[in-house]
Structure formats: C-alpha cells, structure tokens
Structure 1
Amino acid sequence: MTTYQALFDHFLTRIDAERAHHLGFAGIRSARLATRLYPGPSTRPVNALGLTFPSALGLAAGFDKNAVGVDALAALGFGHVEVGTVTGEAQPGNPRPRLFRLPADRAIVNRMGFNNDGAETVAARLAERAKHRHSPVVLGVNIGKTKVVPEDDEAAVLADYMKSARLLSPYADYLVVNVSSPNTPGLRSLQAVDRLGPLLEGVRGVADVPLLVKIAPDLADDDVLAVARLALELRLDGIIATNTTVSREGLRTPAADVEAAGAGGISGSPVAARSREVLRLLHDAVGHDLVLVSVGGITAPEEARERLDAGATLVQAYTGFVYGGPWWPRRIASALAHPQE
C-alpha cells in the first residue's frame, strides 16, 4: 500500500468527500508541493486542435471548477487542464452533502450542480493568470447552463452560454459546451440535435477557439451517432465522451450504501465499459475528422492506451486521479510516453 493509499483509506475516507477534496486541492496548490515533489514527467507531446499538448493525459472538468490551480495541477503531470464547469452566473450548486465515494467500485457519486464563481469572476482570474509567466499546459474551459435559466427558453439558454463563451474564450486554448451533466434539471435535453445545433452555432459565433461538445454515456447509440453527424455538419473541432452516468447497474457497493448516496452522476470504473463503447461508435462515425477525447473510468496506463488505440486523440481523468493520488498523473503520462517499458 502506498503512502497516499494509506492516507486515503485511513483518513480521507473518514471525512466528508467535498471537504477532503478542498483539503487535497489546497495541498496541490502549495508552491512547495507542486515544484519540489513533482517535477515534470517524461512525456510524448500530442498535436491536436492546432495546439501542442505536452502529453495525451488531461484533467477532466469538475476538479478545478474556478480555475484556481491550473499550473499546480499541470506540475503533477497533466498535459491539459479543463476548468469548470463555469456558468454565466455564479451559483452555489446543490445542497450538501453532494459528493460521495464508492471505494469498492473505485467510483464517485456527485450531484454538485455546477457550483462555481460565474463566468465574470473566472474570466478575471484567468486574465490575471495571463499576465504572469505560467506553465505550457493547454487550458480548456468547460461551460454549462446556469440553473435558474429555464431549459425550455431556448433564447435565454443560448444567451447564457454565449455570455460564458464571450467572457472566457479569450483565455482558453479550447472551449467545451457541456450539455451532459445529470445534475442541472433539463440540461441533458440539450443533447437532442434540434436544440444542440443552434446552441453550438451560437457559441461558435462568439468564441474564436477550438470548440468541442461533451456528451453523456447514457445516450442511446443512435443519439450518439446523431451528435457525431451534427458535429461533422457544423465542423466542430471535437467531442468529449463521456460525462458521468445515472445508471446504477453492476455496482459492487452494497445497494443500501448506493441508495444512501442518493441521486447524482457516477464517475470512475463503472463508466469505463460504456465510455469505450461510445468512443468506438464515434470513431467509426467520424474517423480522424474530429478530435475525440475519451474520459470515464481511466485508472491505469493500459486503459489509457486502449482508448488511444481505439481512436481517441486525448484522454482525461478525474476519479482515477482522486483514487490514485498526486503521483498518479506523472505515472500515467510517463507510461504513455514509453509504452514498451
């Protein structure tokens, strides 16, 4: 058992998961921790989206919602960091507790509800970062719908996303439209192509950076293919697959514990099989015409390599990082750079 695993099992699991996240993230942001303990890994750069990614491994949205630790996270070994989800207006998210661990499944249940400081504050923070010398990490910004905006008011939804895109895109290397979180009422209805098309076109009209869309693993295969066709028609730059799942099938965690955690999306190992399936569907549909970013259940180098071999250009992780600890990104990035070792 590693030092981190012992800390996780005997300390972090005994405190509220959200508080543990804040404690851990505060440690990562410590300049001493980032610069002295975790020098940059040996990596293999990836050229995609007109950018050079230091490695294929990135940190998925959700960990650094407010862009407060981009460069500290890069120092751990991530080649790109996707911040957010950021909404047009600041919002507190859902009531606590709203983050839960399922250790038997190497999984997390979250119903955070897009808690974030809002597009104006995050944009100001990124503008301040841009004034100073920073790491070569690629910065993605993930945007979503403000909860109070009615999902059936298409004009208001579009205006909300466009506000975020207009404020944040000047500081982003790429932008992601998130329509796939299960924790904002009505959000996933935006994945229907008749609603998604105008939304993506509107965002692209105000954001002069590569544009991607993030989809859910719970979409039916036909709907995945419909999104792929739409992305090709609109000449998007890529698709991120997948977000968390609302499915509770096949879990090892006792049913009573799962029920106690309540509603929310599950990330981690339980999503892996479906994430692989969605990746293969997308690759068959779009080939190399779009950048495919695979996320969901990546816990080891072998899983990351499998996604790249199946057609992903880049991979992202969140839950694997939480369970694997601060050394985990460097191990994965180094393993991807030296696949024969």
Structure 2
Amino acid sequence: MIRFLYKNVLKPILFKIDPEVVHDAFVVLGANMGKFQAGRILLGLMYKYTEKDIEITVDGITYKSPVMLAAGFDYNGQLAHVLDCLSFGGDEIGSVTARPCEGNPKPRLKRMIKSKSLVVYKGLKNQGVDRIIARLKNTTKPEGFVWGISIAKTNDPGGSTFEGGIEDYHYSLSRLAEENMGDFYTINISCPNVHGGENFAEPQRLEKLLNRLMEVEHDKPVYAKMPINQPWEEFNELLHVLDKAGVHGVVIGNLNKNYADADFPEEAPTEYRGGLSGKLCHRLSTDLIRQTKNYWGDRFTIIGCGGILTVEDAMEKLDAGADLLQLITGMIFEGPHLMKDICAAYASRAEKKSASVFIPATG
C-alpha cells in the first residue's frame, strides 16, 4: 500500500513541483518528524527494516544497514538524527566547505523522468563547515548510526585556484578533526559544478592535495569520491595515488557528465549545465567498481554509488565488489521504501551465501 500510494498518488503530484522546492520541503519535514518520538515511530513503522540482523563492520565502523544516504541530499546535516528510521545505516553529510556557499544560480535541479535521472547543478550549496559542526554537536545521534562527512572546496573565487582549493579542503578537515566530528571523511575530488572544475581528479594535483590533508591528525577512515567518466587507465592512476597516500577506500562514484548517455536525449540540457544522477550513472559506476575490485582486491573499501533504483541494481553493485551502498535518486524516483527492500534482499543474499558454505561432517 505504501509503495502504491507513493508511486501512484504522491509522486505524480511531487513531480509537477520544482524539484529543489520538494527537496527543501522534505528536509524540513524529516528534520521536524525526527525531533519527536511519535514521528520516529511512525517513520519506523513504515520504512525501517527490523527483520534480521544485517550489521556489517567496515574499516572498524559497524553499520546497522549497508545502505547510506549519499552526499548531496543532507548537505547541512539536518537529517542526521532521523535517517535511521528509513533503513539507512549512515548519512554522508555534505559536501561541506570551508565557507558558506549559496551554490550555482537556479535552476539547480531538473528531472529527466524517462531517463530516471536528475540534472544536478547545486554547486556545493551548504552552510559551511563551522555552522554544520555546531548543528551536529547539538544533534542526538541515533544509536549505531554512522555519520560520514564529505568535504569539498568552496564554490567561490577563493576556492577556484589550485593552492586556494587545497587550503579550503585542509581547513574543513582540520575543523572536523579538532571537534572529533564524524565517523569517516570523504574527499570529494570530482564535483564537476564548481569554479575551476575538477582540478583534483588528476594524479599530480591529487597527490599534492592528499599530502596536505594527511598532515591533519585523526583516527577516522578516509575515502575519495571518484569521477566516473574517465577511462579505466586514468581512473586507476588516481587509485595508485590514493594507495600511496594511505586512503582507506573509494566512493564510486560521482555524477555522469556525458549527456550523450541519456536514454531520451530530448530530456537533457542543450549544453553542459550540471551532472547526471540516477540510472545514467549505473553502468559506468558498476563497471569501475568491478575493475577496481579485480585489480586491487581488498586494498580499498568500495562504496557503490550511482544508479541504484531497484533492489537488483543494489545487488549488482555488491556482486561487482562494493562493500557498502549509497543512493539518493532511487529514493526520489522509487520512494522511501527502497532502502527497506534493499535491506531485505541483502539479508536474503547473506543467508544464501551462508547456506552455500560447505561444512564437512565430523565422525
């Protein structure tokens, strides 16, 4: 009934409204419901997976669910106290930047309904690392829930230079480490919608950025949010840099910049203005997950992100080598029951794997 009502009643109404207005409204609604026990109970009854233990420990962090909300939705940490009620095991907050940022000019979101994608042109809109830290310090963290924090360079002229960008990242990471805020950190090296472009998704520049960031003392796992439009050889060069720096893992990956990949080209903008999320990321990200796993084995933790719109999409990412999952667009197109469905399938997958292990009889 919940699925039916979302897809056939609520979604057609929401999809007639500007997507950023809908996003902001749901953030406010979720934040307010999470403040009250009655609101948490109601959300949990509808959307929280409670059937079987599906805990997983990755890099010393235990997740109640393998599904996280990807960075780019809760960019100010306003939902960090309530997302566990929707079967999420973690929230990747941000990306946060050294200074507050208003983002790119509107419109910043566009639905490509036939292609099951969003054109995302937010430009790292967020309130800045200091204000977000203050909010999280006053937020009750649900038991067993994981807070990841994604950091990026501020989308303003000060962050557009190579040196300015490095110091921008460094300030955010330093402040987070000083306050011991977050369970893991993700370095967003591949946001395409900012001043100066993706100037750290290149080996020599990435090495200099990481050398500076590794000066910050903390005990949290560090991941990198990866581009998905590079050929494997170039992508693997970045992995070698990450390996040398001691980065724990990778989020594969970020938005698709190739509008030619649209299933229905007439939906895409006529010129580049924002990256593509959703279905148009699925093949690229899954292929890179598989190649990373085949080449590097267990060296990197892999967080699969991009184009998870169904349970089958999620299982394909896991089978390709992902340890954890992140999503946003699938929740928007399919509904907030998707995470619970993935958790149920994950439990079934674990049971089948366990049953397939041969245990020799003893006599």
Distance 1:291 1:173 in 2: 15
Residue 38 of structure 1 corresponds to 44
CA distance, structure 1, for counterparts of residue 295 and residue 137 of structure 2: 38
Q: 1:85 to 1:133 in 2, by over 3 A?
A: closer
Whether the aligned pair in 1 keeps the contact of 2:67 and 2:343 (CA below 8 Å) is yes
Unmatched segments (≥5 aa) in structure 1: none
One-letter amino acid of the counterpart of residue 273, structure 1 = R
What residue number does 2:211 align with?
Answer: 201
Indicate whether 1:251 and 2:262 are aligned. Answer: yes
Cα gap change, 1:207/1:85 in structure 2, threshold over 3 Å: closer, same or farther? farther
Could you state the TM-score of these two structures normalised by the residue count of structure 2? Answer: 0.88
TM-score, normalising length: structure 1: 0.93
Match for residue 64 of structure 1 among 61, 68, 74: 74
Q: Which amino acid aligns with 2:133?
A: A
Question: In 2 relative to 1, CA 224–254 (structure 1 residues): closer, same or farther, beyond 3 Å?
Answer: closer
Listed one character per residue, the Cα deviations across residues 303-322 of structure 1 (whole Å, up to 9, x for unaligned) are 21221121111111110011
Check whether the contact 2:81–2:141 (CA below 8 A) recurs between aligned residues.
no
Do the aligned residues in 2 keep the contact of 1:139 with 1:172 (CA within 8 Å)? yes
For 2:116 and 2:19, the matched residues in 1 are separated by 14
C-alpha deviation, 1:71, in angstroms: 2.1
**5+ long unaligned stretches in structure 2:** 353-363
2:229 match: 218
Query: Which of these residues, 218, 231, 238, is aligned with residue 227 of structure 1?
Result: 238
Question: What code does the residue aligned with 2:25 have?
Answer: L
Following the alignment from structure 1 to structure 2, what is the Cα–Cα distance between the partners of residues 115 and 152? 15
Per the TM alignment, residue 327 of structure 1 is displaced from its structure 2 partner at its CA by: 1.8
Instruction: Give 2:198's aligned residue.
Output: 188
Q: Tell me, what secondary structure is at the counterpart of 2:260?
A: coil
The total of aligned residue pairs comes to 338
Q: What is the Cα-based RMSD across aligned positions, in Å? A: 1.9
1:125 matched to 2:135: yes
Aligned counterpart, 2:344: 334
Deviations 1:166-204 (A, max 9, x none): 112411100011011111132312111101112123223
Q: Is 1:100 aligned to 2:113, yes or no? A: no
Distance 1:63 1:300 in 2: 19
1:243 and 1:152 map into 2 onto residues whose CA distance is 20
Is 2:121 the partner of 1:111?
yes
Structure 1 range deviating more: 49-58 or 259-268: 259-268
Aligned twin of 2:356: none
SS in 2 for 1:38: helix
Q: Give the CA deviation at 1:41.
A: 1.0
User: Does structure 2 conserve the Cα–Cα contact (< 8 Å) formed by 1:238 and 1:291?
Assistant: yes
Distance in 1 between residues matched to 2:277 and 2:27, nearest whole Å: 19
Pairwise CA distance, 1:114: 0.4
1:165 counterpart = 2:173: yes
Q: Say which one has the larger Rg.
A: 2
Contact 1:294 1:307 in 2 (8 A): yes
Query: Is the Cα contact below 8 Å between 1:74 and 1:135 reproduced in 2?
Result: no
CA-to-aligned-CA distance 1:258-282 (integer Å, 9 cap, x gap): 2269611100011101111111221
